[in-house]
Amino acid sequence: MKQFFYAQDVQDIPSLIQSALDYKASPWKDETLGKHKKLGCLFMNPSMRTRLSTQVAAQQLGMETVVFNVGNEGWALEFADGAIMNGTTVEHVKDAAPIMGNYFDLLAVRTFPGLKDREADYSEHIMHQFIKYAGIPVISLESATLHPLQSLADLITIQENMPQKPVASKPKIVLSWAPHVKPLPQCVANSFAQWVNAWGAADFVIAHPKGYELDPSFTQGATIMHDQDAAIKDADFIYIKNWSAYQDYGTMPAYDGEWMLNNKKMQLTNQAKAMHCLPVRRNVELSDEILDSTNSLVIKQAANRVWAAQSVIASMLKATNT
């Protein structure tokens, strides 16, 4: 694997999930794979889970990690081709990325959408510029539209918590929109949809109020519903997440009804497990009674971020070692 950005970058998702579970069972089994190799981690926005889990994963493979908070500590980067840099940006990615490519063996980049210009965000220009100019393999730690390491951790968590069902039947997984106080990116929802569809091992439903349709290129293959109660009926997993509108880009259209999951709604499900990528606004996006219940997988999901990152980094190290 030379880049980890889209689900389609992964040749065999079940094998990658198994690799992550193997690292979970034996974290140090490849402790020299990354010996004398360095991972540079660039953050352009805040993070807790992604930052820490990626470093732990790399260390368990024997790698050194260098974390650079570009947003707060670095020179302001320019990404526009042909820019006349007489404004606030100080250094062009064309100059910065190849330098990082000389310092590191792998580069991991975290960026966010502006949520103002859909075309700009969905072009993924920033991530593509790093991939183009770094000259080394690049891992997305979340981009303007996708969060692949999160999605891999989500599938690992689902795999570990599969309900007992007849062999031929697939688990029912529902991605459900939830309220929030401010507009959030579509990254986690897009990515989860992309990965579940690519995985192909689920009966996949997406529930959201009208006006919150996601980019169909990610959701194609899922059943889309606007009635949350109907959508979660007999669900085995409910992934709760807020996102802002894709059509009326970055806005928060008004909606009807109660969309925050609670115990009453859970009675409609097949004792569903509740998932969320975190951080979560308690009692806005998701109720205490769900988050603190035995049905909640949110801590296990976050813990699995380490094994997701370790399996991806190992796969890239193996590709660069051959």
Point out which residues bind ligand CP (CB under 6 A): 47-50, 142, 150, 277-278
Q: Which amino acid is at 136?
A: I
For ligand CP, the closer CB: 16 or 187: 187
SS3 284: coil
Task: Provide the 8-state DSSP code for 285.
Answer: T
- Shortest Å, Cβ 111 to ligand CP: 12
Q: What does residue 92 show for φ and ψ, rounded to 5 degrees? A: -85, 145
For ligand CP, the closer CB: 129 or 150: 150
Centroid of chain to Cα 79: 23
- Shortest Å, Cβ 260 to ligand CP: 19
Question: Tokens 């000259």 sit at which residue?
Answer: 135
Name 242's Cβ contacts closer than 8 Å, sequence gap at least 6: 177, 178, 179, 180, 184, 285
Could you give the C-alpha distances from 178 to 189, 283, 286, in angstroms and in order?
A: 11, 11, 7
For ligand CP, the closer CB: 268 or 278: 278
| Preceding omega of 27 cis (within 30 degrees of 0) | no
Cα(313)–Cα(235) distance, rounded to whole angstroms? 33
- Shortest Å, Cβ 49 to ligand CP: 4
For ligand CP, the closer CB: 187 or 231: 187
Cα(89)–Cα(122) distance, rounded to whole angstroms? 22
Q: What does residue 69 show for φ and ψ, rounded to 5 degrees? A: -85, 80
- Alpha helices of the chain — where are they, by DSSP H? 13-25, 49-60, 70-73, 93-103, 118-122, 125-134, 148-160, 187-199, 216-219, 228-232, 263-266, 288-291, 298-303, 305-321
For ligand CP, the closer CB: 63 or 298: 298
Q: What does residue 77 show for φ and ψ, rounded to 5 degrees? A: -90, 145
SS3 191: helix
- Shortest Å, Cβ 147 to ligand CP: 6
For ligand CP, the closer CB: 71 or 211: 71
- Shortest Å, Cβ 60 to ligand CP: 18
Cα(95)–Cα(79) distance, rounded to whole angstroms? 10
For ligand CP, the closer CB: 101 or 113: 113
Q: Which amino acid is at 302?
A: A
- Shortest Å, Cβ 267 to ligand CP: 28
- Shortest Å, Cβ 52 to ligand CP: 8
- Shortest Å, Cβ 168 to ligand CP: 33
For ligand CP, the closer CB: 61 or 152: 152
